[in-house]
Structure 1
Amino acid sequence: MVLFALQITAELENLTNLQPQGGCDDPEFTYLFKLKCQSCGEPTQKETALSLSESVPLPVGKGTTNLIQKCKFCGREGTVTMMPGRGQPLTEELSEAGKFAPLMVFECRGYEPADYVFGGGWKVQSLAGTTFDDVDLSEEEFTEYDEKGECPVMISKPSSTFVVLKN
């Protein structure tokens, strides 16, 4: 079992607190990324979609997981379980420092996550306090005008990384 933390960053202009619409542990937020088989090393062809609201029983023992999937190349089965409670929003300070914010932790057995894909379902606040809901980052840029703060706001160059955590 290996724990992977999905960490994100982006350039934020007059914005702070970028996170999923319902917070970092939003059960309805969908994470899209490719997986790589730890046995044969082959990546999945399509992105895998995971959310906290969807779980399946483990085939052996008790408990649940968010994904059970067989590798199409070697036939090995693997699981990915989401572990909420460790995420935090991407703040203006982290963005300006070029640092990443942890978003979600995944316990992986047989797979490792790779190539996170930004989509919709984000929220962010302007420095003046205006909240922008259901922000779509699939085009890798969000621009708007903050009437309250009387300034343009922008999210650009979103990027992500998966970091191995020590148990």
Structure 2
Amino acid sequence: MVNYMLMISAELENLTDLQPQGGCDDANFAYYFKLKCGNCGEVTQKETCVSLNETVSSNKGRSETHLSQKCKFCNREGTVTMISGRGHPLTQADAEKGNYAPLMLFDCRGYEPLDFVFGVGWKVESIEGTVFTEVDLSGGEFAEYDEKGECPVMISNLRATFTVVK
């Protein structure tokens, strides 16, 4: 069992608190990433999707998990279980320092997560208090104008990494 923390970073212009639409523990938010088999090293061709509101029984029948699948190459089963309550939004202070913010913790057995994909369903707040919802980061950036604050807002240079957590 290895726990991987999804860490995100970005450049935020006049913005703060980048996070999934319903917060870091949003049950409906879909996390997309590739998986590397811990047995043979094969990497999935397509991104795998996991979310807190979807659980399955592991093939071994011992517990509930968010993903249970067999490696297409060596046929070994692996699971991914999400652990909520450990993430927080990326703030402007974090972004200015180039720091990463922890978003979600994944308990991976038989797999290693790779290559997180930013998609739709994000929320961010301007420094003037305007909340932007359903932000689409699939294109790698977001740019808008904050009417209330009378300033441009932008998210760019999105980065994500998985770090091992004890």
Q: TM range, normalised to the smaller chain?
A: over 0.9
Q: What amino acid does structure 2 have at the position aligned with 1:71? A: C
Summarize deviations over 1:64-119 as a string: whole Å, max 9, x none: 00000110111100000000000100000000000000000000000000000000
Instruction: Give me the whole-angstrom Cα distance separating, in 2, the residues matched to 1:63 and 1:88.
Output: 27
Instruction: Give me the whole-angstrom Cα distance separating, in 2, the residues matched to 1:6 and 1:77.
Output: 22
Q: What amino acid does structure 1 have at the position aligned with 2:159? A: S
Instruction: Give me the whole-angstrom Cα distance separating, in 2, the residues matched to 1:60 and 1:159.
Output: 35
Aligned match of 2:80: 80
**Unmatched tracts of structure 2, length 5 or more:** none
Aligned match of 2:21: 21
Instruction: Give me the whole-angstrom Cα distance separating, in 2, the residues matched to 1:62 and 1:26.
Output: 26
After the TM superposition, which parts of structure 1 deviate over 4 Å for at least 4 consecutive aligned residues?
none
For normalisation by structure 2, the TM-score amounts to 0.98
- Residue 159 (structure 1) shift: 0.6
Q: What amino acid does structure 2 have at the position aligned with 1:56? A: V
Instruction: Give me the whole-angstrom Cα distance separating, in 2, the residues matched to 1:38 and 1:140.
Output: 29
Aligned match of 1:91: 91
Aligned match of 1:32: 32
Deviates more, 1:54-63 or 1:90-99: 54-63
**Unmatched tracts of structure 1, length 5 or more:** none
- Residue 57 (structure 1) shift: 1.4
Summarize deviations over 1:13-58 as a string: whole Å, max 9, x none: 0000000000000000000000000000110000000000000112
2:10 aligned with 1:10 = yes
Q: Percentage identity across aligned positions? A: 66
- Residue 60 (structure 1) shift: 3.1
- Residue 157 (structure 1) shift: 1.0
Instruction: Give me the whole-angstrom Cα distance separating, in 2, the residues matched to 1:76 and 1:54.
Output: 22
Aligned match of 2:43: 43
Aligned match of 1:157: 157
Instruction: Give me the whole-angstrom Cα distance separating, in 1, the residues matched to 2:61 and 2:47.
Output: 28
Instruction: Give me the whole-angstrom Cα distance separating, in 2, the residues matched to 1:104 and 1:122.
Output: 14
Instruction: Give me the whole-angstrom Cα distance separating, in 2, the residues matched to 1:54 and 1:137.
Output: 23
The 5-angstrom pairing of residues 33-72 of structure 1 reads 33-60=33-60, 62-72=62-72
- Residue 61 (structure 1) shift: 5.0
Matched position secondary structure for 1:80: strand
Q: What amino acid does structure 2 have at the position aligned with 1:80? A: V
Q: What amino acid does structure 1 have at the position aligned with 2:99? A: K
Instruction: Give me the whole-angstrom Cα distance separating, in 2, the residues matched to 1:152 and 1:115.
Output: 30
Query: RMSD across aligned C-alpha pairs, in angstroms?
Result: 0.7
Aligned match of 1:107: 107
Mapped contact 2:11–2:158 kept (Cα < 8 A): yes
Aligned match of 1:138: 138
Q: What amino acid does structure 1 have at the position aligned with 2:158? A: P
